[in-house]
Structure 1
Amino acid sequence: MPVTKTDTTSASLTHAVLELLEPGKTPGVPGGPIGSIEFQMNPKELTMAKSASWKTEKQKKASSAPPATYQGPEAQKLSVEMFFDDTQGSGGDSVVQRVEKLFQACAPTKDSKRSDTPSAPWVRFKWGVLSGFVGYIKSVSAKYTLFSPTGTPLRAVCAVALEEIAEEPGKQNPTSGGLRPRRVHTLKEGDTLAGIAYREYGSAAMWRVLADVNGIDDPMRLVPGRPVFLPAADELVRPATLVVVRKEVANAGR
């Protein structure tokens, strides 16, 4: 990947950097800084990607493609290459040390190891107006392209893939008034509650709970096109939570 060499004497030049942060306790809210990995040369390009998840149910008798059901947005992704060069002996970290910092950013931090939820550091990509991306390092691939006569790496190109950490929480404590989003299945010809329960939860016997949650009195007379709410698996085994789910389903049907 082409790179633009930086001039450290330029007062107007903004250097790209990866800030390493302690994992936060709240989604999207990182902890304090624990280090940084600077770009020796600013990237000439980077790639940002955003996608959504859709699901289709295949129908053998259908003459056209089945309708797709929106499942929700997926995490934003950022990929960039970092170029490290020590041919001039500029001092500071060597090429190997800089690459090792990237590799270490995929391992749990010291503080998180002492907790019940060890986690790799969160990362904030900072470069001009593109400074709002907070995520984690998904992968690092290093290619050493130049060596000294003694075999010391003098130049390397690292492909770094980042994935965002969503700001909105997923599962919440039911007592706080919020629950995780639930999937919705639209009934089609030939559907049975037992089949849906087996596909979603691995047990056909869960059809009774689905019928109860969705207010279905006669499971043998399912109407194609009717939405069936699918609670999370752990909600099915918590009676108090199911009460809340039933209320939400009832309100949605009004």
Structure 2
Amino acid sequence: MPITNTASDTSSLVHAAIDVHEPGQTPGKVGALLTTIEFQLNPKEVTIAKSAKWESKNQKKAASAPPATYQGPDPQKMSVEMYFDETRQRDGSVVKNVEALFEACTPTSASKDGNKPSAPWVKFKWGVLTGFVGYIKSVSAKYTLFSPDGKPLRAVCTVALEELANEPKKQNPTSGGLQPRHAHTLREGDSLAAIAYREYGDPSHWRTLAEVNGIDDPLRLRPGHIVLIPTLEELSQTDGRETVRREVVRARLH
């Protein structure tokens, strides 16, 4: 017995799409929707990759590989192909679709007006894969069919997307004491970069953590040592960092 598509089968088909948004004001939260670039044909494959940074320090006398220190995760990456076909349209062309993807790699007008140029943030939507929030890192377009007058009628676009960080862990409000700011007791294998990513969502803050805690060599952390974790507001202010430094010194004296 032949298999045919029923009305319910057709209604269950979900087309993949990329929503293009203004950059958000907070990590992981997009701004206003600018446009939606729909897939004419759902992709055959979607490649998703995730990796982490590890750092090892060579030791001349070591008999085996040196221990590695976790530096935090790299952004998740996604790669997908988009197919465009306008052969059924009388004066069709796929250039508009391709240019929409290219445009998503350039700063939005609103971000330029606000003196913070940024390309749009995007959301990939397709079934259970919905929820990827990031930006388009690169677009490669290959035109595969042209009309007699040279209009591109078919194109295959390879789109590479990269994840944006989610909302970092919220800090306790400051009140001038050691405990409300949150303190971390170092364990074997800890690194300042990993702590910075866990607390702020950004491993690059390890330098400020080292500075305010008086840590001269971040690669030689002592288990049991207490690291004071400033708030994000204090990290961005010279006075805030100086206040934390004084508290670290006072805590060690006692």
1:15–1:38 CA contact under 8 A, matched in 2:
yes
For residue 184 of structure 1, the aligned residue among 192, 197, 216 is 192
Q: Are 2:60 and 1:52 equivalent residues in the alignment?
A: no
Q: Are 2:151 and 1:152 equivalent residues in the alignment?
A: yes
Q: Please name the residue that 2:128 is paired with.
A: 129
In the TM superposition, what is the alpha-carbon distance from 1:63 to its structure 2 partner? 2.1
**1:101 counterpart SS class:** helix
Using the TM superposition, name which of 100-109 and 241-250 deviates more.
241-250
Distance 1:83 1:26 in 2: 33
Distance 1:11 1:225 in 2: 58
Change beyond 3 A, Cα 1:170–1:117: farther
**1:10 counterpart SS class:** helix
- TM-score, normalised to structure 2, is 0.69
Q: Please name the residue that 2:198 is paired with.
A: none
CA displacement 1:68-88 (0-9 Å, x = unmatched): 000111111111000111122
Change beyond 3 A, Cα 1:129–1:42: same
2:69–2:191 CA contact under 8 A, matched in 1:
no
Q: Please name the residue that 1:244 is paired with.
A: 244
Distance 2:134 2:13 in 1: 25
Structure 1, unaligned runs of 5 or more: 1-8, 186-199, 202-208
In the TM superposition, what is the alpha-carbon distance from 1:243 to its structure 2 partner? 3.9
Change beyond 3 A, Cα 1:70–1:84: same
In the TM superposition, what is the alpha-carbon distance from 1:66 to its structure 2 partner? 0.6
Distance 1:178 1:110 in 2: 39
For these two proteins, the number of residue pairs brought into alignment is: 212
Q: Please name the residue that 1:213 is paired with.
A: 214
Q: Please name the residue that 1:193 is paired with.
A: none
Q: Aligned letter for 2:112?
A: K
Distance 1:108 1:242 in 2: 36
Runs of 4+ in 1 over 4 A off after TM superposition: 174-179, 209-212, 234-237, 245-251
Q: Aligned letter for 2:21?
A: L
Q: Aligned letter for 2:47?
A: T
In the TM superposition, what is the alpha-carbon distance from 1:44 to its structure 2 partner? 1.4
**1:137 counterpart SS class:** strand
RMSD: 4.1
1:137–1:160 CA contact under 8 A, matched in 2:
yes
Change beyond 3 A, Cα 1:249–1:49: farther
Distance 1:35 1:249 in 2: 53
Q: Are 2:139 and 1:140 equivalent residues in the alignment?
A: yes
Change beyond 3 A, Cα 1:35–1:225: closer
Distance 2:126 2:222 in 1: 49
1:213–1:242 CA contact under 8 A, matched in 2:
no
Change beyond 3 A, Cα 1:70–1:143: same
2:212–2:244 CA contact under 8 A, matched in 1:
no
Q: Aligned letter for 1:81?
A: E
In the TM superposition, what is the alpha-carbon distance from 1:169 to its structure 2 partner? 3.8
**1:111 counterpart SS class:** helix
Change beyond 3 A, Cα 1:25–1:18: same
Q: Aligned letter for 1:95?
A: V
In the TM superposition, what is the alpha-carbon distance from 1:148 to its structure 2 partner? 1.6
- TM-score, normalised to structure 1, is 0.69
Distance 2:51 2:154 in 1: 34
Q: Percent identity?
A: 56
Q: Aligned letter for 1:184?
A: L
Distance 1:213 1:40 in 2: 57
Q: Please name the residue that 1:38 is paired with.
A: 38
Structure 2, unaligned runs of 5 or more: 1-8, 185-189, 194-205
In the TM superposition, what is the alpha-carbon distance from 1:115 to its structure 2 partner? 0.5
Distance 2:41 2:108 in 1: 27
Distance 1:139 1:121 in 2: 13
Q: Please name the residue that 1:10 is paired with.
A: 10
2:212–2:245 CA contact under 8 A, matched in 1:
no
Q: Please name the residue that 1:79 is paired with.
A: 79
